[in-house]
Amino acid sequence: MTSELLERALVEEATKKSGLIWVRAASADDAGSPAVPARALWHVWHEGAAYVVGDGPGEQPLPGLADGGDAVVTVRSKDKGGRIVSWPARVAELTPGTPEWEGAVAELKGKRLNALDGEAMPERWRRECRVLRLEPRGGTVPLPSDSQAAPPPPSPAVTRRPIPAALPRLLRRKRR
């Protein structure tokens, strides 16, 4: 009983303090490689679970996370960036307009950085996004032993132009 409480406290404290969690949908057997790699997501810890918002224009993608499904959440240290704990989660999609949705969105809104629409953001989330609750179930799972590195997902983002030819010389001159 004591170890369960300690694991729950570790999950809660680590997830609260981390600004970023790595989430992947659990595969059917969870023994082989996952179909969808883990994705870094910003979140908020509220009422015993991690909440994320996404799958809408200008928001983070939530690939493979389905209502009623399972996920594995890996929490990193905010200071050092190393892995602290991994925990299994039950995914639940919140229905817009419910008290639980309103409470989660109020918390998420306070943590959302660089939103273009400011006060209209919750209404946009209601129309175009999904708000998911990642509720811990059980204890912790062993941390992955490999690097978990994956190629970056395709993106329309590109470098606008090559760096100027003189830049390396200018940088070398500054060091002297």
CB-CB contact of 142 with 86 (8 Å)? yes
Up-side HSE of residue 158: CA atoms within 13 Å toward CB? 4
Residue range 37-79, pLDDT digits in tens: 889 999 999 999 999 999 988 899 998 899 999 999 999 988 8
- Among 41-55, 76-90, 147-161, top mean pLDDT goes to 41-55
Angle between helices 99-111 and 121-128 (to 10 degrees): 120
- In this structure, the number of other CB atoms found within 10 A of the CB of residue 102 comes to 13
CB-CB contact of 108 with 131 (8 Å)? yes
The domain ranges of the chain are: 2-175
Evaluate if pTM is beyond 0.95.
no
Arch. (CATH architecture) of 2-175: Roll (2.30)
Angle (CA) 30 31 37, round 5°:
60
